[in-house]
Amino acid sequence: APVTYFGFIGGNLNQLKIEMIAANQSMSTDHKLGWHIGVGLDYAFHDQWSLRPKLNYQALTSNNPFIPANDVKLQYVSLGIGLLRSF
């Protein structure tokens, strides 16, 4: 079959860096752990080529450089597409 489906789950290490160009300043957060989960499909349109669209949800946590006692929770959904060549 030219179409296969896949799912994935994993962890990530993140750090937030904020640069204020006009003030020539930057702030960085500590490294924190996050996670992601997603689904997608692999459409083989040639013997060696396929398209791989996917939907990804990520949850990241980082300390807030503006208010030091508070954590920032970043949660977002992304949609991507890749072009793959098999060797």
Q: Report pLDDT digits (tens) over 2-58.
A: 899 999 999 988 887 778 777 788 777 778 888 999 999 999 999 899 999 999 999
In the numeric block, which tokens belong to residue 66? 């503006």
| The pLDDT of residue 25 | 80
| The pLDDT of residue 11 | 94
H/E run at residue 87:
none
Range of the domain at 19: 3-85
- CA–CA gap between residue 86 and residue 77 (Å, rounded): 28
- pTM beyond 0.75: the answer is no
**Total number of domains in the chain:** 1
Q: Report whether 16 contacts 38 (CB < 8 A).
A: no
